[in-house]
Amino acid sequence: MTREARYPSLEGRVVFISGGATGIGATLVEAFARQGCHVAFVDIDEANATELVVRIADAGHPKPLFLLCDVTDIDALRNALSNTAAALGTVRVLVNNAADDQRHRVAETTPELWDHAFAVNVRHHFFAAQAVAPGMTAAGGGSIVNMGSISWMTKTTGMPAYTAAKAAVKGLTMCLAREFGPANIRVNSVVPGWVMTERQLRMWVTPEGESTIDSAQCLKARLQASDIAAMVLFLGADDSRLCTAQDFVVDAGWA
7 catalytic residue (yes or no): no
Could you give the CA distance from residue 17 to residue 27 in angstroms, rounded to a whole number? 11
Are residues 165 and 225 in contact, defined by beta-carbon separation less than 8 angstroms?
A: no
Are residues 55 and 22 in contact, defined by beta-carbon separation less than 8 angstroms?
A: no
Between the alpha carbon of residue 137 and those of residues 131, 168, 185, the distances in Å are 11, 25, 7
Strand order in the sheet with 65-68: 65-68, 38-43, 14-18, 93-96, 142-147, 185-192, 247-250
Are residues 183 and 141 in contact, defined by beta-carbon separation less than 8 angstroms?
A: yes
Put residue 153 in one of left, alpha, beta given phi > 0 → left and psi -120 to 50 → alpha: alpha
In the set 162, 180, 194, 254, the catalytic residue is 162
Are residues 23 and 45 in contact, defined by beta-carbon separation less than 8 angstroms?
A: no
Question: Annotated active-site positions, please?
Answer: 162
